[in-house]
Chain A
């Protein structure tokens, strides 16, 4: 490997000091960017040989600090491992390197009438290796499921540079443990996937998008309940609240949503074209019954983009209002959403924080966004306390502390809200089976053991 692909200069290391969760920063010893599996193996062997931890990194778009360097570590970036190794339309499989960007696989698959279903919001930048590490979701996983459903095999580099093949589409699923399923979502703590076998699906025959405007989040949530009760299975069901709408409309991303609205609901159906208009008609009826003030729908690609615009840009728009933005992530059983949202807004008000909500209403995955200013120490402390209370509310409702962003360093402090000591010990032991020396992304995911 040439010196071009080893970064040790402090100025160039700056960009590797954090991922999408910018409140934590730590410089690594160095960053290495291998270009082949052999180089990757060599790097892991050499670094682990010195007893130095390795922190894997994809595009650094993660929101939980999964790619945050740990002190005294070497970051191994997959940016140059960006080849699509095989695309097999006959078996609807692709084999890719971990640095391939999610949407690029989508573009390549489209040439064969296929697509890769998981679509995290960062899909134009995030890598499949990162998606595997985080078990990423996206707006369309209500119907299609999350990353793990689409990963059929992995070639992984484990501690000391050992290369192991896990699974594979041709392997009998009952002849061994599901090590692929276990590795997906391990947040870089088990090893680095150097080849990823993914399943592709045929492109849907048609798509319809519907935008409903409501006076309140409760009304929008009632529409969602109606849609589910109708037995409809939309590809996406997304709600944004009034605060989010106003943030978007005040930004360069203005999508034309009414600023006095309490909530906007985006519903998308895809599949065989012949059935979509009926689905849309039933969903429109549900929206009207729940008191929608306006409902629009379209099958036109350009119009669809416009209806989605507000939802897709909510994050970016809010980033412009305040110096800092914390995007929370939790999941609750879907029917508990209205009461949980009410409590979350009450917590925000109690701590005098600006909170806006955008969420995947179909699967109960919420993303409260807290706007704040890091330089205000008091406000920062209030953000911390409010976050914990929000997590507690979600857990009390039968939910969990992260639905798609991962634990990383951000949620370790909440792990005991959802897991007992036995379960945490089991996770730790399973991590030890893959990485006995604890040299992959140490100190992430699992909390420090309780003091005896």
Chain B
């Protein structure tokens, strides 16, 4: 276990590492438990860090240490015939992709940040990318996890089989728990055969001469078409609006799916010449210190209305909406966000709308959010559900982290 502040190979907001008492890299579940016990004895909170990309945008207010999962990496078991593997939390998605690729398989996960994200970080965040449309969410791919709870218990939950209902589904509880209940040290996931072919289709507003309304209608038509693409997103840079659709399958399937989508949309798509570049843009970005990054969930049918509202409220924003899943991500340049903009964002979350949540904050602009606390929704109903949900979540935190060692708990809402 390294105990000196350690930044080698770590991409994390400097503000978190700079304020951490130290960065520890445990190598085993037992060492993770030791780190947690040590932190508790010293009265420190613990921030769990994978690749550093998915960390909340601000450092905790209380003193804390960083537990890096970098030394908990590597594929422990990979059974191509079973379509499963088990790997350490610190294993990057890039390494997994390379390893699975040798057997003609893949993990259809495209969270923002892509290959640099770690398995543990993605599992703990529970946030995937637009491929969820075609292949299911992260929570549907995780078969088992080994976790160390906030109070130091090592729990082996779930297993490596596709179907498992032996007891309450605590695996689900830890997927997406964002480090609030425990540290994910390894995970078993199901994998898929790599599609024989893929195609990325584009429909651009300006370049294809489409007014915005028609582009938005096209996006809606994709999400109600009789064929579900692997993924579909609507992207915007201030001078560019483009609908990007990713198809997978054999060549005849791609041709047939494209034809059905074009039927539904009423326009012909262009085929991307550089599909990799577009697939990267489809995944989106996160943990960017040069911009304000926010996200807001919504139902697919509300896309046109939300898109227009965002373009009007934040003309300088880049936008990224998962057409089938409904998640919207916006990035705003540092100078575009002031108190007025915060008020507008709050306005976006009025009524039945989901909250607007900050994923990243530019260096030097932390003060704008610090008063509102890290990761806090800037407004909106249902930021964490009704009181009943709050009570349940509090009880569950007491079950797994009774001493409140895991720092994120204080930012939970």
How far, in Å, is B57 (CB) from chain A's closest CB?
Answer: 13
On whether the beta carbons of A427 and B168 are closer than 8 Å, the reply is yes
Q: B194: which A residues are within 8 A, CB to CB?
A: 231
Interface-lining segment among A67-75, A122-130, A380-388, A401-409: A401-409
Interface residue? A39 (CB, 8 A):
no
Complex interface residues of chain B between 174 and 199 (CB less than 8 A to chain A):
175-178, 180-181, 192-194, 196
Complex interface residues of chain A between 376 and 433 (CB less than 8 A to chain B):
398-407, 411, 415, 418-420, 422-424, 426-427, 429-433
Q: B367: which A residues are within 8 A, CB to CB?
A: none
Interface residue? B274 (CB, 8 A):
no
Known: A163-B388, A165-B389, A426-B153. A182 touches B163 (CB 8 A): no
Interface residue? B84 (CB, 8 A):
yes
Interface-lining segment among A290-298, A332-340, A342-350: A332-340
How far is it, in angstroms, between the C-alpha of A168 and the C-alpha of B388 when the chains are bound?
Answer: 15
Residue on B nearest A185 in the bound complex, by CB: B169
Known: A170-B298, A401-B166. A429 touches B399 (CB 8 A): yes
Interface residue? A445 (CB, 8 A):
yes
Interface residue? A134 (CB, 8 A):
yes
Q: A149: which B residues are within 8 A, CB to CB?
A: 136-137, 140
On whether the beta carbons of A89 and B224 are closer than 8 Å, the reply is yes
Complex interface residues of chain A between 119 and 163 (CB less than 8 A to chain B):
134-135, 137, 141-142, 145-146, 148-149, 158, 162-163
How far is it, in angstroms, between the C-alpha of A360 and the C-alpha of B162 when the chains are bound?
Answer: 11
On whether the beta carbons of B227 and A170 are closer than 8 Å, the reply is no
Q: A90: which B residues are within 8 A, CB to CB?
A: 224, 300-301
How far, in Å, is B326 (CB) from chain A's closest CB?
Answer: 7
How far is it, in angstroms, between the C-alpha of A272 and the C-alpha of B248 when the chains are bound?
Answer: 11
On whether the beta carbons of B162 and A422 are closer than 8 Å, the reply is no
Interface residue? B255 (CB, 8 A):
yes
Known: A162-B388, A400-B161. A415 touches B172 (CB 8 A): no
Q: B115: which A residues are within 8 A, CB to CB?
A: none
How far, in Å, is A361 (CB) from chain B's closest CB?
Answer: 11
Interface centre among A141, A158, A179 (most CB of B within 10 A): A179
Interface residue? A176 (CB, 8 A):
yes
Chain A count of residues within 8 A CB distance of the other chain: 94
Q: A142: which B residues are within 8 A, CB to CB?
A: 162
On whether the beta carbons of A175 and B389 are closer than 8 Å, the reply is no
Known: A272-B257, A334-B81. A178 touches B175 (CB 8 A): yes
How far, in Å, is B260 (CB) from chain A's closest CB?
Answer: 8
On whether the beta carbons of B357 and A172 are closer than 8 Å, the reply is yes
On whether the beta carbons of B297 and A170 are closer than 8 Å, the reply is yes
How far, in Å, is A65 (CB) from chain B's closest CB?
Answer: 14
How far, in Å, is A133 (CB) from chain B's closest CB?
Answer: 10
On whether the beta carbons of B166 and A134 are closer than 8 Å, the reply is no
How far, in Å, is B149 (CB) from chain A's closest CB?
Answer: 8
On whether the beta carbons of A231 and B161 are closer than 8 Å, the reply is no
Interface residue? B10 (CB, 8 A):
no
How far is it, in angstroms, between the C-alpha of A417 and the C-alpha of B309 when the chains are bound?
Answer: 55
Produce 1/0 per residue, B194-229, CB < 8 A to A: 101000000000000000000000000000111110
Produce 1/0 per residue, A172-184, CB < 8 A to B: 1111111101101
How far, in Å, is A53 (CB) from chain B's closest CB?
Answer: 18
How far is it, in angstroms, between the C-alpha of A402 and the C-alpha of B165 when the chains are bound?
Answer: 6
How far, in Å, is B298 (CB) from chain A's closest CB?
Answer: 6
Interface residue? B173 (CB, 8 A):
yes
Known: A166-B389, A272-B256, A422-B153. A402 touches B166 (CB 8 A): yes
On whether the beta carbons of A228 and B297 are closer than 8 Å, the reply is no
Interface residue? A164 (CB, 8 A):
yes
How far is it, in angstroms, between the C-alpha of A220 and the C-alpha of B42 when the chains are bound?
Answer: 60
Partner of A445, one of B105, B154, B164, B168: B168
Interface centre among B82, B354, B355 (most CB of A within 10 A): B82
How far is it, in angstroms, between the C-alpha of A189 and the C-alpha of B168 when the chains are bound?
Answer: 9
Complex interface residues of chain B between 227 and 272 (CB less than 8 A to chain A):
227-228, 249-250, 252-253, 255-257, 260
Known: A90-B300, A429-B399. A201 touches B228 (CB 8 A): yes
How far is it, in angstroms, between the C-alpha of A226 and the C-alpha of B104 when the chains are bound?
Answer: 14
Chain A positions near chain B (C-beta within 8 angstroms): 88-93, 113, 134-135, 137, 141-142, 145-146, 148-149, 158, 162-166, 168-179, 181-182, 184-186, 189, 201-203, 205, 225, 228-233, 271-275, 278, 331-335, 360, 363-365, 398-407, 411, 415, 418-420, 422-424, 426-427, 429-434, 445-446
Chain B positions near chain A (C-beta within 8 angstroms): 79-84, 104-105, 125-127, 136-137, 139-140, 149, 153-157, 159-170, 172-173, 175-178, 180-181, 192-194, 196, 224-228, 249-250, 252-253, 255-257, 260, 295-301, 326-327, 352, 354-355, 357, 377, 382-386, 388-389, 392-393, 395-396, 398-400, 412-413
A sample of 11 inter-chain contacts (CB < 8 A) reads A92-B300, A148-B172, A170-B354, A175-B357, A181-B173, A181-B175, A272-B249, A363-B162, A364-B163, A400-B159, A401-B166
